[in-house]
Structure 1
Amino acid sequence: MILTVTPNPSLDRTYEVPGLRRGAVLRAAGDRVEPGGKGVNVSRAVAAAGVRTAAVLPLGGPEGALLARLLGEQGIEAVGVPLAGSTRVNVTLVEPDGTLTKVNAAGPELTAPEAGALLEAVRSRSAGADWIACCGSLPRGVTPAWYAELVARAHRAGTRIALDTSGAALLAALAARPEVVKPNAEELAGAVGRPLATVGDAVKAAEELRARGAATVLASLGADGQILVSEAGTYWGHARVAAVRSNVGAGDASLAGFLAEGGNGPAALAAAVAHGAAAVGLPGSAMPVPADLDLAAVVTTADVPLDRPLGDALTGPLP
């Protein structure tokens, strides 16, 4: 069983528009509403793979009630912590060429008792969990040390942690020694404080995160594949994608595939790559089902192409 934790979940509304023009009235060709947030997406992909999962998350207002209902319809138990505020709503505009424009709401501010109740909900629901996947940004009112405290508590209970966050929250949690961290290329660059120009640079950055406490680093490099760096070795995986429809949630799908396949070694990396490649071919933040996966198209190797340049967006100055 994989338990997910999403401190700042959302309802994700996606509109397919013919083009994005400032000041114009846009008529959507299609629209959808889905449960959102990185940990929520992991639960959705895990459930689609036939693995049992539950999602711990704060819920408030009618938006929170709808989010819980949508999760239940997908076979996911929502372990909700009541909030005084309302669950946020994010909006994505998708153009025909695949260009995405996202408007992410800040979300409600959690009080100290609400943040503590979220930790307690994780503790009470973690019995029997093979993994706890802690994912996404922290809401307002919650300090960067919150994830570190969650990792420490999980370890005291004998549960493994996979962490997908960034910035100060990631750096603070490394000292608690999570079993897996899953940054994307930009987050990896931010964690080490320098731009990454090649796959080799990404490998060195992942090794630095391991030196700071992470046992395993699974890093998504976008079109340049994924790397897995652990005590057992370093591997690179990639798959060709015919067309990108939406990259929203692709990293979350990758983490779900990795954990569902055991969370260790080349086979888990191949599952991560297959899930991520399938997700980018789906609309909005839809998560892949087994029929969407093409493991035959995935290549994993210990012969990592260290000199392979990363995308231009990763070689410039850090924001």
Structure 2
Amino acid sequence: MITVAGFNTAIDRLYTLDALEPGAVQRAANVQAYPGGKGLHVAQTIAALGEPVQLVGLTDVFHRNLIARRMSERGVLFHGVEIAGELRHCLALRERDGRMTEVLDPGPLLPPRAQQQLLDTLWRCVEDTDAMVLSGSLPRGFEADTYAALLRQIAPRGLPCLVDASGEALRLAADAGAFLLKPNRDEAAQLAGRAVDTVEDAAVVARALHARGVAFPVITLGARGALGFDGADCWHASLAIAHSANAVGSGDCFLAGAAVALRRGGEPAQALRLGVACGAANALHEETGYVQRAQVDALLAEVRLVRFDG
């Protein structure tokens, strides 16, 4: 069983526009809404790949049935902590030419009781867990060191932990013993204090993160794939696709693929390979943060995986 801490559940809304014109009235050609949040995207992708998974996250009275039904349909065991307010809403605005603009709601401020309920629920799940994924932003009210503290508490159990965070939470997690840390290009640049424009730049950052105690640091590079360092070699995995319908959530699907490969006993390089296939499969479809297993399997054969010596 893989356990995902995706505390900051959201409702994702995808608006399709001819063109985004700031300051003007916008008329959407189509609007779609899904349960979302990075952790939820990770969990439903893990399930789509055929692995048992459970998700700990927020829910509310307005969306509890929607989320519970979707997670059940997708094969995810959902442990929801209900809050009195409303979940955050994340907007993705897609223009006719494919350009995407995201607007991310900060979400509700959680009282201490709700924070503790999330943590207690997560710890009840640990007993049945082979691997842990800490994914996405922390709800307001949590301290930035929450992921770092969880990593240190989980370490004695010998569970591999994969982390996808940003800002101060990412910086603190980088020094707390994560097995896999997955910043994207911009987040890696913030961590390193230098631009990450090339695969060579990503390799420098990955090696530096490994020196800080991350066993398998991975830098995702959007359409250019991902680079990881396993302590001996840097590996670069990439896959070109002809058209992207919605790349939002591809990083989450990447992390899910990497978690599944590692749980199945795959080498880090193979985790990169499955991760890239999952990220590409997500980009081919309208829904944010979800893949179809048959398509992942087909794309996997096309992923280019090379040892990178730069």
What residue in structure 1 maps to residue 199 of structure 2? 199
Map of 1:26 onto structure 2? 27
Deviations 1:27-73 (A, max 9, x none): 42x33221211111011111111111111012223134432332222
CA contact (8 A) 1:4 1:43 kept: yes
Paired with 2:60 and 2:208, the residues of 1 have a C-alpha distance of 39
Q: How does 1:94-113 map to 2 (within 5 A)?
A: 94-113=94-113
Cα deviation digits, residues 244-281 of structure 1 (max 9, x gap): 11111000111111111126422221111111111111
**Which AA in structure 2 matches 1:24?**
V
Identity of aligned residues (%): 32
Corresponding position: 1:267 with 2:249: no
Q: Deviations over 1:49-107 (max 9, x none)?
A: 11111110122231344323322222211111222322112222212211112222110
Do the aligned residues in 2 keep the contact of 1:185 with 1:220 (CA within 8 Å)? yes
Aligned residue-pair number = 304
Where do 1:1-319 residues align within 5 Å?
Answer: 1-21=1-21, 22-28=23-29, 30-262=30-262, 264-293=267-296, 294-304=299-309, 306=310
Mapped contact 2:235–2:306 kept (Cα < 8 A): yes
- When structure 1 is superposed on structure 2, of 260-269 and 244-253 the one drifting more is 260-269
Query: What is the root-mean-square deviation in Å for CA atoms of aligned residues?
Result: 1.7
d(CA) in 2 for partners of 1:249, 1:80: 21
Say if 1:47 and 1:53, in contact at 8 Å, map to a contact too. Answer: yes
Moved more, 160-169 or 79-88: 79-88
Q: Secondary structure at the match of 1:91?
A: strand
Q: Match for 1:72: what amino acid?
A: S
Contact 1:16/1:93 (CA < 8 Å) preserved in 2?
yes
- Give the TM-score, by structure 2 length: 0.92
Shift of 1:286: 4.5
Question: What runs of 5+ residues in structure 1 fail to find an aligned partner?
Answer: 307-319
Which SS does the other structure have where 1:219 is aligned? strand
Contact 2:147–2:173 (CA<8 Å) still a contact in 1? yes
Shift in Å, 1:222: 1.1
Take 2:170 and 2:210, find their aligned partners in 1: how far apart are those partners? 12
CA distance in 1, matches of 2:90, 2:274: 28
Q: Which runs of 4+ in 1 moved over 4 A?
A: none
Task: Describe the shift of the 1:286–1:41 C-alpha distance in structure 2 as closer, same or farther (beyond 3 A).
Answer: closer
Comparing 238-247 with 73-82, greater Cα deviation is found at 73-82
Quote the Cα distance in structure 1 between the aligned partners of 2:308 and 2:78: 42
1:227 maps to a residue whose letter is L
CA distance in 2, matches of 1:238, 1:25: 36
Kept in 1, the 8 Å contact 2:252–2:289? The answer is: no
Shift of 1:139: 1.7
Q: 1:15 deviation in Å?
A: 2.1
Contact 2:42–2:289 (Cα < 8 Å) also in 1: no
Amino acid at match of 2:256: A
Q: Structure 2: state its 5+ residue gaps.
A: none
TM-score (norm 1): 0.90
Greater shift, 294-303 or 257-266, is seen at: 257-266
Structure 1, 17-26 or 293-302: larger mean CA deviation:
17-26
Q: Is the 8 A contact 2:17 2:26 kept in 1?
A: no
Return closer, same or farther for 1:172/1:98 CA change in 2, 3 Å cut-off: same
Range 170-179 or range 67-76, more displaced? 67-76
